[in-house]
Amino acid sequence: MTTSAVELSLPRGPLSTFVLARLHGATVPRPSVVTSDALGDDDLQLALHLCYELHYGGLPGVPDETEWDIELLSFRAELERCVERDLFALVGPPVGADDVRSALPALVADDDGPSLSRWMLENGSIEQMTEFVLHRSAYQLKEADPHSWAIPRLPRAAKAGLVEIQAGEYGVERPEHVMHSELFAATMRELGLDDRPNAYLDELPGTTLATGNLASYFGLHRRWRGALVGHLSVFEMTSVEPMGRYSAALERMGASDAARRFYDVHVMADAVHERVAVDAMAGPLADEEPALAADILFGARAVLAVEGRFAETLLAAWSAGASSVRREVLVI
């Protein structure tokens, strides 16, 4: 891993300009937040991503105390209100109290979003696979961390189920296992990419940043703990086949075993996690807190929709023979 610090990102508009200025300690007028598409807004999603990063590994050159900068927190809340408004418009607000043990698999089965993994296996080039890895880096380099926010917030049985999944994600359940975020970093290095957090932030469009920001949004708000559990359940339930296709695509492209390992490990691990997610986490949570059933299913619908839009954006670019990133990346 390269050890030098990554430069802070470039602003994309008034929202990220304001956040970047606050991160640098400057006092600037707060802009009004106006967007008709918060989930696809490049400027808003970058601003949100930067705010959220303060709660994870932090940002280079930004003091730890900035995590609780009252002005940034209040601005973040305004951005989040736009996200929530557009999520409700996209998938509807939390309603109903279906049996989550049957409703979650039904939601996944009914999802008619495009399959990025199938496209990659059948049509993708190594350049497109490299772009895909780049898009995923905003989330996968901190894989599992957003879901860990729920651990202290869940009742007993659901907490145990979540911790069982997280033990696998962090590679601590077996001595020979490796943290999944570290496996992803290895994939990046094998593809000639810089594995430092946020090294490619400027290349990632709003629709990509929205995928990671959705997990952080649910994760940082106790009131969305049910949605976070639904989000993680869908992640686990939609992993095995796509991960297998990405590994096969990389094999066809001549990539190394080390580049494929992240995907191969998920094929095995998530065959277990998908059962734990429903039977030992989401199901028990709905049993213990029946009022959260609607939130669990809302989180599931939200992640399917946001991931679907992410996939559509990449496929539209590639089908037109274009790059899917905001500017051409110089592969190191």
Which stretches of the chain bind Fe ion, using CB under 5 A? 169, 180, 236, 270, 273
Q: At its nearest, how many Å lie between Fe ion and the CB of residue 260?
A: 15
List the one residue out of 17, 207, 230 whose CA is nearest residue 108.
Answer: 230
Closer residue to Fe ion in complex, CB, 43/236: 236
